[in-house]
Amino acid sequence: MTITLQDVAMILGVHIDGPALVGHAVVGVGRHVVYQDPFDHRITSKFCMGQAHAQTCIPLRWLRWTFWRDSYLDLNDVDFWRHVRAYILFILGCHLLPDTSGSEIHLQYLTIMEDLAVFSAYSLGGAILAHLYRELREATRPSRANIAGCIHLLQIWAWEHLHVGRPLLRVPFTVEFHGLSVGFMYEIILFNQFF
């Protein structure tokens, strides 16, 4: 029994069909031109925070502080799509493909997101599952004290298959799940239990 691509599609509601999500391995100084264009910022020069990954990762707090707005109605098309890319990077870094720091996202995803129409065709579910498997393998090392990856995928999958420690599924009203992921069911139940 293991997490499959079908589980990823059912729990998270992401695409599992399409080309594999594979980024460029070369990052850093030689790729400044690519990384400067999508956000109209010279990205790695904006935040030298003493991190080891300062040349290859974007801090998620920088994305949030720079691109969060109350309203996006006043933006022109170019700025609007920059904000969309920043939001997608933020979701990838926080929830779908987080690293062990939980506070940054690798620059390799910017080159993949140059054309959002092409990006939407990729198998994001395959990348999420591969990343989770790799992080689970890395977490077994004795020197490793934490885990990364899409942990809420692992948690909801465990609730669905192991029935140990999961919340009771007592929904007091009918919920239509057409087009929604299985994880949405637990969100409603947990929300109703606490509020």
| pTM for this prediction | 0.75
Residue 149 has pLDDT above 80, yes or no: yes
The mean-pLDDT minimum among 17-26, 146-155, 161-170, 182-191 falls in 182-191
Give 154 or 65, the one with higher predicted confidence: 154
Residue 84 maps to a domain: yes
Residue 128 has pLDDT above 90, yes or no: yes
Residues paired with residue 20 on neighbouring β-strands, in sequence order: 123
Residue 157 has pLDDT above 80, yes or no: yes
Residue 59 maps to a domain: yes
Region 105-131: what's the mean pLDDT?
Answer: 88
72 in the same domain as 34: yes
Q: Using H for helix, E for strand and C for coil, what is the string for 180-195?
A: CCCHHHHHHHHHHHHC
Which amino acid is it at 74? Answer: D
Residue 26 maps to a domain: yes
Choosing from 121, 139, 163, the residue where a domain stops is 121
26 in the same domain as 117: yes
pLDDT-derived band at 7, boundaries 50, 70, 90 = very high
Number of compact structural domains in the chain: 2
Kind plus residue range of the DSSP H or E element containing 59? strand 57-59
Q: What residues make up the domain containing 87?
A: 22-121
98 in the same domain as 28: yes
Give 105 or 43, the one with higher predicted confidence: 105
Q: Percentage of the chain with pLDDT > 90? A: 25
Quick count: other Cβ atoms within 10 Å of Cβ 141? 8
**Got the DSSP string for 144-157?**
-----S-HHHHHHH
Residue 139 maps to a domain: no
Residue 129 has pLDDT above 80, yes or no: yes
Q: Are 120 and 151 in contact (CB under 8 A)?
A: no
Distance, in Å, from the CA atom of 136 to the CA atom of 151, rounded to the nearest integer, reads: 10
Distance, in Å, from the CA atom of 94 to the CA atom of 105, rounded to the nearest integer, reads: 8
pLDDT-derived band at 82, boundaries 50, 70, 90 = confident
How high is the pLDDT of residue 9? 92
Most confident segment among 20-24, 40-44, 112-116: 112-116
Choosing from 71, 99, 121, the residue where a domain stops is 121
43-51, long-range: CB < 8 A, 24+ apart: 43/107, 43/110, 44/107, 51/104
180 in the same domain as 101: no
Mean of the per-residue pLDDT values of the chain: 77
Q: What six digits make up the tokens of 194?
A: 């606490």
Distance, in Å, from the CA atom of 25 to the CA atom of 87, rounded to the nearest integer, reads: 23
Residue 2 maps to a domain: no
